[in-house]
Amino acid sequence: MREKQLYAIILVLAIALAGVVGCVIALVLPSQSAEYGRPSEPTGVPIVYAVEGQEAQLRTIAVIGVGRASAKPNQAQLRLGARSQETTATEALAKNAESMNKVIEALKGMGIPEKDIETAYFSVYPRYSTYGETIIGFEVSHMLSVTTTNLDKVGEIIDKAIEAGANSVEGIYFTFTEEKLQELNEQARQRAVEDAKSKAGTTAASLGVKIIGVASADETGYYPSPYYYEYRTFAYPAPIPTPSPIMPPTEVEVTITIRVTYIIE
């Protein structure tokens, strides 16, 4: 009799426990579903599920526009200076300083502002014997970068520098002033944009689509290396002959390219 009563109690407890677990599951499942954005029961509101890693792709066409602008250079940069060789470094430095002071004064005497006379490089290094075993002396090299917008005086500047003590002329670079280069860049950029528009319009018409906007635009510029007239560097102490008249190039061209991606429909 007692065993039957114990069995009945265990059965009642099992049924009660199953009911509690069922309630807990009923409470947990909706909250878990809501956490992942999927309600367990219809709410009457449409739900859009975003698929991770997928984005709407724009329909586009890409073209490259090219723009050019050219003008006669309005600025020249000269590289000139002196190289001095002596037995000791102190003697070489002193001799080079004497020559360069005279060169700088001669340049200033021609009306070249001090701000347009800069040291391009300066070096002191030993000179070795034929087989490189011993130091037989030192050489000091001091080169200046001289800038001028008076292109008619380039040859004269070289002459005066040589007369004052310069014994090395590395070259002449014909370039543009910053203002002139900016002006040419703006002209080339506008032409590049117009070229891109024209190409895009032709391409869109051929494909039977319509351009509705711009997705991106990237610009690159090509700035030509300055025109360079090279002069031989004469070994010290050989004299440098007077250079021939310097004639700057007629025109130098600046090129800008722009890659434009257009949105189409």
For the domain that residue 149 is a member of, what is the CATH number? 3.30.70.2970
Ramachandran bin of 230, using left for φ above 0, alpha for ψ from -120 to 50, beta for the remaining angles: beta
* Residue 81 falls inside a structural domain: yes
- The pLDDT score that the predictor gives to residue 49 is 33
* Residue 131 falls inside a structural domain: yes
Rounded mean pLDDT, 31-53? 38
DSSP the chain: -HHHHHHHHHHHHHHHHHHHHHHHHHHHHHHHHHHTT--SS--SS---PPPTT--PPPPEEEEEEEEEEEE---EEEEEEEEEEEESSHHHHHHHHHHHHHHHHHHHHHTT--GGGEEEEEEEEEEEE-TTSSSEEEEEEEEEEEEEES-GGGHHHHHHHHHHHT--EEEEEEEE--HHHHHHHHHHHHHHHHHHHHHHHHHHHHHHT--EEEEEEEEEEEE-PPPEEEE-PPPPTT---PPPPPP---S-EEEEEEEEEEEEE-
Residue in the structure block whose two tokens are 């340049």 = 107
- The pLDDT score that the predictor gives to residue 224 is 64
* Residue 186 falls inside a structural domain: no
Rounded mean pLDDT, 80-97? 96
Task: Dump pLDDT digits (tens) for 213-255.
Answer: 999 999 988 766 565 555 544 444 444 455 557 778 888 889 9
- The pLDDT score that the predictor gives to residue 251 is 87
* Residue 152 falls inside a structural domain: yes
Rounded mean pLDDT, 75-83? 94
* Residue 149 falls inside a structural domain: yes
* Residue 59 falls inside a structural domain: no
On average, the pLDDT of the chain sits at: 79
CB 199 within 8 Å of CB 63? yes
- The pLDDT score that the predictor gives to residue 227 is 56
β-bridge partners, 146: 78, 117
What is the domain count for the chain? 1
Task: Dump pLDDT digits (tens) for 116-143.
Answer: 999 999 999 999 998 888 999 999 999 9
Q: How confident is the model at residue 30 (pLDDT cuts 50, 70, 90)?
A: very low
* Residue 122 falls inside a structural domain: yes
Residue 104 has pLDDT above 50, yes or no: yes
Cβ neighbours for 216, distance < 8 A, ≥ 6 positions apart: 260, 261
Could you list the residue range(s) of the whole structural domain that residue 114 is in? 75-176+227-249
- The pLDDT score that the predictor gives to residue 13 is 47
* Residue 24 falls inside a structural domain: no
Residue 170 has pLDDT above 50, yes or no: yes
CB-count burial class (<10 Å; 0-12, 13-18, 19+) for 11: exposed
